[in-house]
Amino acid sequence: MAVEELTSINSLIKRLDPRVKIIEVFFFSIVLAVLNSLPVLLSTLIISLGIVLTARIPLREIFRRLVPVNVMILFLWFFLPFTIEGKSLFNMGPLTVTHEGLIYACRISIKSNAMMLMLISLIASTPIFTLGHALLELKISKKLVHLFFFTYRYIHVMDKEYIRLINAIKIRGFRPGTNLHTYKTFAYIVGMLLIKSFDRMQRVRNAMLCRGFKGDFYIIKIFSFKKIDAVSIAFIIVVFVLLGVMEWTATT
């Protein structure tokens, strides 16, 4: 599937134990969330960029995955500089742009991109089902892992069903507009998707029960902790310590 197109790239990052990748991304997100100094946040962005380049992911793919995130962030830039109280920088008509608002928007932008780069390099380089098995190894709830598996497996199926419904109404001459007929039509489409989702869920559940499914996914590949994983953990710990020292120095 298209989601796994980066997993075929052979790199140093790909050879890491998936459990180690998940742990590192988890703690990196926590550390990133508590940082506030702009120079320190820029350092995390540079580190994330270095890691994603180590994963040998093409720049075109990196930019393609960053676009949706930054489109959402762009909307924040239309509101945060004007809505957060602080020192006034300049006026845009009746609106006042504050220094604190700009800094807050910059922090969110840097944190979001740094986190996304880390996810691209560590998580996107791992096959989805390997990632799910790694979550099981880390003692994550089986129900959550099963939900993760089935969401990934059937979201593509429902997307195809949605496209089929859209093509069907277009063939019948439907042209969307800002009127009651359009709203009712899309409401019917959503309702049909929910009904078809429920029907498929029942059929999939019955099929799995007929095959003896007891709530367990058996792991064929056994994960092993290697020297490269120890080096990776040591590196990320050193990075966390340096970021903590830089943040403490910047705030004192």
7 within 8 A of 14, measured Cβ to Cβ = yes
> Residue 150: pLDDT above 70?
yes
- Higher model confidence: residue 85 or residue 92? 85
Q: Which residue has the higher pLDDT, 4 or 121?
A: 121
- Residue range 33-58: average pLDDT? 86
Q: How far is Cα 30 from Cα 244, in angstroms, rounded to an integer?
A: 12
What's the mean pLDDT when you consider all of the chain? 83
What pLDDT is recorded for position 8? Answer: 66
Q: What is the reported pLDDT for 124?
A: 73
The SS3 of residue 15 is coil
Residues for the chain: how many in total?
Answer: 252
- The encoded tokens of residue 37 equal 């100094």
First to last CA, the chain: 49
pLDDT above 50 (res 57): yes
Question: 18 with 59: CB under 8 angstroms?
Answer: no
Per-domain residue ranges of the chain: 2-126+224-251, 140-210
Segment holding 53, helix H or strand E: helix 38-54
**Helices 59-77 & 99-122 angle (0-180, nearest 10):** 150
Give the whole-angstrom CA distance, residue 97 versus residue 169.
47
252 pLDDT band, cuts 50/70/90, is: low
pLDDT score recorded for residue 173: 85
Segment 166-194 mean pLDDT: 87
CA distances from 142 to 139, 146, 147, 193, 218 (A): 8, 6, 8, 27, 12
Give the per-residue pLDDT at 238.
92
